[in-house]
Structure formats: C-alpha cells, structure tokens
Amino acid sequence: EAQVTQNPRYLITVTGKKLTVTCSQNMNHEYMSWYRQDPGLGLRQIYYSMNVEVTDKGDVPEGYKVSRKEKRNFPLILESPSPNQTSLYFCASSVAISEGYTFGSGTRLTVV
Amino acid sequence: AQSVAQPEDQVNVAEGNPLTVKCTYSVSGNPYLFWYVQYPNRGLQFLLKYITGDNLVKGSYGFEAEFNKSQTSFHLKKPSALVSDSALYFCAVRGEGSGTYKYIFGTGTRLKVLA
C-alpha cells in the first residue's frame, strides 16, 4: 500500500531532551515536507526537500533540523525541544511539485 | 510573497443543500491550487487541484472547485452536501516558478453538515 509512515504517533517529552520523528514513504516520491498544525494557524511548513541531500527552510524552521540521506526517509530532529514546539506534526510527500501531497497520519508531540 | 486566505472558520449547511467553502490566494506567477480534507484524528487527504486548463475542476467524493483568476479565488463546492462531508477543509497554493517548493496552506474551514 502506498503510504507515508510517521513514528511515533504520540510522544510526551521533557524540555531539552533531543528527539527524532521519523518519516518514510514507499512511493519513490522526490518531494517531502514537514508541517506543524496548530489551532487557528492551519498548517505551517517547517522544512522541505526536493531530492536527496537537497533541503530548504519553510516558514517556521527555528528549532528544527532535517536530513535527506535517502529518497524514502525524511526525519525531523528537535535538538532541544521547548514547550512552544508542542504541536501536531505531519510529514508529506509528492511525486512532483504540481501534484498533491500524500500525508502521514501525524505525530502529536507534547513538550513539558 | 505567497499567501492563502480562508475567510470562514466554520460553514454550516443542511444535508442535501449545496455547499461552498471559500479560498482566495496571492502568488507571483501562475498558481498551483489544491484542496485537502482532514477528518478527526487523521492526516490530510488530497481532494483536487488546479494547475491549468478548465476553470472548473472535479475531484474526489463529488467535490469540485472553481478557479477565478480575476478574483484570485478557488472556492470548493459540492451540489448536495452529506453529513459525512463534515470535516476540516484546507486550501493550499504554490506559485509557478516561485523558485521554491514553499507550499502554503490556509488556516482551514470547518464544515458542518446538519441532518
């Protein structure tokens, strides 16, 4: 089944403890992206990647890192999480920039 | 700079009536426009897109959207609403040739279809 898989689905962590949210797609898509969803703010793009080793900042990149060493994987790294990073995170991929995204199921992160 | 606006936080419509969810955008160059739907506790699902061509685009689940270049709008429509259409709807835009893959979403419109 064609899908974007994120892990974990739920995560509660403490301020400052490094964490990684994994994202993997099995559709050979070139384009991948990370979003955070907050009430009243919609989805805001954190980082995106146009291909292996090609990444760029979205609108809210502060406090996040990404890497794209393989086409299928696009992990999101929070080196020192803070409470304002408590949010619902989505990974998404698409075959081309003119096509719609396939989204993962989301990761609900709580930083205390 | 790219932007997209969904002016209504919530839209209520009676089952069987037509529905419209509004979206306006601002981009440099020609727009790539998209609609997505999000059901509770789920990721977003792609509904339809406009890249070029006919101004009326048909998508999944009986939804369609009308592109209006002069009004910079891309409203989502359905001739007859179902209770199961109740969900959160997002409009998204990317400008052709914008030089980036920034893909901007609106803040979402909650559609409530009343039985």
Q: Element (H or E) spanning B19, and its range? A: strand B19-21
Dump pLDDT digits (tens) for B23-46.
999 988 888 999 999 998 888 999
| Shortest Cα distance, chain A CAs vs residue B38, angstroms | 10
Q: Element (H or E) spanning A88, and its range? A: strand A87-94
Residue B57: both structure tokens together: 């685009």
Q: Considering only CB atoms, which chain A residues are within 8 Å of B103?
A: 33, 45, 48, 101
Query: How far from B37 is each of A9, B40, B93, CA to CA, in Å?
Result: 20, 10, 15
| Shortest Cα distance, chain A CAs vs residue B78, angstroms | 20
| Shortest Cα distance, chain A CAs vs residue B52, angstroms | 10
Residue A102's pLDDT band, with cuts at 50, 70 and 90, is very high
Dump pLDDT digits (tens) for B46-86.
999 998 888 999 999 999 999 999 999 999 999 999 999 99
Residue B98's pLDDT band, with cuts at 50, 70 and 90, is low
DSSP state of B60: G
Which among B51, B104, B105 has CB closest to A98?
Answer: B51
Dump pLDDT digits (tens) for A11-21.
999 999 999 99
Q: Considering only CB atoms, which chain B residues are within 8 Å of A98?
A: 32, 49, 51
Is B109 within 8 Å of B35 (Cβ atoms)?
A: no
What does the pLDDT read at residue B29?
80
* Cβ separation A33–B103 shorter than 8 A: yes
Q: Which chain B residue is nearest to residue A107, measuring alpha carbons?
A: B43
Q: Which among A98, A102, A105, A107 is the top mutation candidate for probing chain B, defined by the most B β-carbons within 10 Å of its own β-carbon? A: A98
Question: A85 by DSSP, 3-state: which?
Answer: helix
Rounded average pLDDT over A72-87:
97
Let me know if A57 is exposed, middle or buried by CB neighbors in 10 A (0-12, 13-18, 19+). middle
Q: Which chain A residue is nearest to residue B2, measuring alpha carbons?
A: A59
What does the pLDDT read at residue B55?
92
On whether any CB of chain B is under 8 Å from the CB of A70, the answer is no
Rounded average pLDDT over A67-74:
97
| Shortest Cα distance, chain A CAs vs residue B27, angstroms | 15
What does the pLDDT read at residue B67?
95
What does the pLDDT read at residue B100?
63
